[in-house]
Amino acid sequence: MSELLSSLGARYMQLALVEVLLLAGLSALLGPWIVLRRRAFFAHAAATVTFPGLVVAAALALPAAPLAAACAVAYALLVARSERGDDDAVTGLLLVGALAVGAVLASDVARSGAGVDRLLFGTLVALTPADIALSAATLVIAGLAQAARGRAWLLRGFDPAASGSLGAGSRRHDGLLLVVIALGVVAALAAVGSLLASVLLVVPAATARLLRDDLGGLRRLTGMLAAGEGIAALAIAQRLDVAVGAVLAVLAGAVFALIAAATAPRAIRVRPA
């Protein structure tokens, strides 16, 4: 940790720390909805379908965010319009297809294979002010959407059948949630890449869900876990000179596994006969 503190004088580390905190805020806002509404696979798929767009943007020297957002939002709208939006088989095929198309574009068409690892796994130590601005703007959008439609998302999640009589039955509410999750995924791409973008949005919330049942507590604990794991990953990566995204994925997974193991006996004891 001392090496991390000593390196904070470098601008790239300052940007990385700010990005971690912004993404932790996004995780606190969106992560609980992803977990409670069972949208973890969607979040991972929304990140992966951006891979072809990222390859094209890198090959043509275009800004990556607009093309990635177009891919992710298009997928979100497709899921929102589908009568079977939870069809994991179709989503799995789309995941494989997106990776295959991206790989073909990178190796045979765009000839940008050298940057594929960064597109897939991101980097927290080569961020730009534009990346920070994108994350900040997405955090504001997520906050506004939460304030406007949070009650409807909650009602739709717990009782879809009764939500219509309470004014929250429109599928547009679900569509907005999917679009906001897709935008959150896009904001995380520069830091952790298309394969790991769901790590910050899903795993801290899944970990917090093992400990908290109330939405407010779940949101606060998710934010703290995301921030703590992100900062710890920065320190470990700085010490070992390895990719931050990979360290973050391993660390977040390890924390989840430890808490799951620690809480499993309690869950067994309180299980009704």
Q: What single string gives the DSSP state of each residue in 137-195?
A: HHHHHHHHHHHHHHHHHHHHHH-HHHHGGGT---HHHHHHHHHHHHHHHHHHHHHHHHH
Q: Which two tokens stand for residue 95?
A: 């995941």
Q: How does pLDDT run across 77-88, given as a tens digit for each residue?
A: 988 887 554 566
pTM above 0.85, yes or no: yes
CA–CA distance, 34 with 181 (Å, rounded to integer)? 8
Q: Which two tokens stand for residue 130?
A: 């534009």
Within 13 Å of residue 261, how many CA atoms lie on the same side as its CB?
6
Residues contacting residue 90 through CB under 8 Å, at least 6 positions apart: 84
CA–CA distance, 90 with 102 (Å, rounded to integer)? 18
The residue written with tokens 């795993």 in the block is 203
CA–CA distance, 270 with 273 (Å, rounded to integer)? 9
DSSP secondary structure string, 59-85?
A: HTT--HHHHHHHHHHHHHHHHHH-TTT
Residue 122: strand, helix, or coil: coil
**Which domains are present in the chain?**
2-268 (1.10.3470.10)
CA–CA distance, 205 with 199 (Å, rounded to integer)? 10
Share above pLDDT 70 across residues of the chain, in percent, rounded to a whole number: 82
Residue 112 scores a pLDDT above 60: no
Surface-to-core class of residue 158, CB atoms within 10 Å of its CB (0-12 exposed, 13-18 middle, 19+ buried): exposed
Q: How does pLDDT run across 239-258, given as a tens digit for each residue?
A: 887 888 889 999 999 999 99
Residue 110 scores a pLDDT above 80: no
pLDDT, averaged across the chain: 84
The residue written with tokens 């309470």 in the block is 166
Q: How does pLDDT run across 158-210, given as a tens digit for each residue?
A: 655 544 544 545 668 888 999 999 999 999 999 888 888 888 899 999 999 99
